[in-house]
Structure 1
Amino acid sequence: MARILTVAQQKGGAGKTTLAAHLAVAIAETGKTVAVVDIDPQASLSSWWEMRAELGLPAPSNGRGKGGLSVHRITGWRTANEVEKLARDHDVVVVDSPPHAETEAKIAVRVADLVLVPLQPSPMDFWATQATLDLAKAEKTDALLVLNRVPPRASLTEAMTVKIGEMGAKVAKAQIGNRVALAASLLEGKGVTEYQKRGTAAAEIKALAAEVMKG
């Protein structure tokens, strides 16, 4: 059975879909078969996948015939059943959930082995993120905070560090910087690990992929 990772954040603008896309590509490049489930009404991830197909880009793999990636647009009550079906035939399922506590978001959190919660290092984001953590707790699903869009050379203030601790959730060791390559790669239908293999952004995404696959 696949490892199911749901990327969830009820606050908009946290980089949820961007993180899901890059993470899925990075995991596929380790030789895993990855299915991405797009249940976000904006369908940005599905649009990225369609552009990738139009450009004729091959599915990411480890270069030795192992791995692969597919994206599935799913809506409504079918979510749980479709995720379960995909989990039978893939190593990993990544779910890009809606940005609000709708039925689909709750289902996406419920079916997950781990919920990744992207969090920008600002007080407003800290306050808004608690609702997502509460949802994961209510659904009895482990959550992992991922510091995302971290400004260059930025350090968390003591107050912010305390605030994170008060959330009561585990924080990923890997942090994702606010890097141009993350957006530029998507505009070319790629993940950042394909676009800039040895760049800092790629290294950060790979580190996060390794971390979430350990558990």
Structure 2
Amino acid sequence: MAHIITIAQQKGGAGKTTLAVNLAIAFAKQDKRVAILDTDPQGSLGRWFMTRRELLGDPGVEFATSSAWGVGYECQKLSDNNDIVIIDTPPKVDSDLKPALREADLVLVPVGSSLVDLWATDGVVDLAERVGKPCVIVLNRVKSGTRLAEDVAAAAATISSEVATVTLGHRVVYAQTLGQGLGALEAGKSAATAEVNALVTEISALLDATE
């Protein structure tokens, strides 16, 4: 059976789809069979996939969409043929999010480099705890060396959720490659390459611990 990762955050623009895409490509580059499941009506992950298919022919990952309540069924199908399933969810926290959380082996909550983004994690973290799923905050768009980045990291450490040791920087390559149907790892060697690979290593260890 596949490991299932649900990416959730009630604040829009926190980087859920960017995180989903880059994890998917990084796992695929490790010869994992990867599926991505878009449950967000906005459909950004689906548009990325279609752009990728037009560009490459073979996208290298499987794609599916689902309503909130069809997540369990789609995850079951995708798990039969894949090692990793990554679920991208809408920017909200309500009963519709519960099915995606229940299916998860690990819940990732991306947080942009602002305290407002961090405040928005409370609902997701609380809901994940209620359904008994491990939850990890991933600091995103971090501007290294700034006071704000230090303040956000310090505040994140006080939340009742684990915080990933690896952070993703505020880099143009993430937005640029997303619009091209690619992941940052496919844009040539850069600081983003090291970040994404390190984050996947950390997440892989967390997934192994859930077995």
* TM-score (normalizing by structure 1): 0.89
- Report the counterpart of residue 12 of structure 1 in structure 2: 12
Alignment check: 8 A CA contact 1:98 1:104 kept:
no
Moved more, 68-77 or 38-47: 68-77
Distance in 1 (CA, whole Å) between partners of 2:68 and 2:125 is 22
CA distance in 2, matches of 1:85, 1:141: 21
Residue aligning to 1:112: 104
Report percent identity of matched pairs. Answer: 41
Q: 1:131 to 1:184 in 2, by over 3 A?
A: same
Asked if residue 173 in structure 1 is aligned to residue 170 in structure 2, the reply is no
Per-residue deviation, 1:201: 1.0
Query: Equivalents in 2 of 1:151, 1:158: separation in Å?
Result: 9
Q: Per the alignment, in what secondary structure is the counterpart of residue 71 of structure 1?
A: strand
Instruction: Verify the 8 A CA contact 1:79 1:104 in the aligned structure 2.
Output: no
- Name the stretch that deviates more: 10-19 or 96-105: 96-105
Residue 128 in structure 1 maps to residue 117 in structure 2: no
Give the RMSD, CA atoms, in angstroms. 1.7
Give the match's secondary structure for 1:89. coil
Task: Encode CA deviations 1:40-85: one digit per residue, 9 max, x unaligned.
Answer: 11110101111111123433xxxxxxxx411111124221111122
Pairing partner for 1:212 from 177, 200, 203? 203
Are 1:99 and 1:105, in contact at CA under 8 Å, matched by a contact in 2?
A: no
> In structure 2, how many angstroms separate the alpha carbons of the residues matched to 1:118 and 1:138?
19
User: What does residue range 81-96 of structure 1 map to in structure 2 within 5 Å?
Assistant: 81-96=73-88
Q: Distance in 2 between matches of 1:21 and 1:152?
A: 23
Distance in structure 2 (CA, Å) of the matches to 1:130 and 1:110: 17
Map 1:1-215; keep pairs closer than 5 Å.
1-59=1-59, 68-154=60-146, 159-196=151-188, 198-215=189-206
Structure 2: distance between partners of 1:210 and 1:165: 21
2:68–2:97 contact (8 Å) kept in structure 1: no
| Structure 1 residues 202 and 159, CA gap change in structure 2 (3 angstroms) | closer
What 5-or-longer segments of structure 1 have no aligned partner?
A: 60-67
Deviation at 1:116, TM superposition (A): 0.5
For residue 94 of structure 1, give the secondary structure of its aligned residue in structure 2.
strand
CA distance in 1, matches of 2:68, 2:115: 33
Unaligned runs of 5+ in 2: 207-211
TM-score by length of 2: 0.91
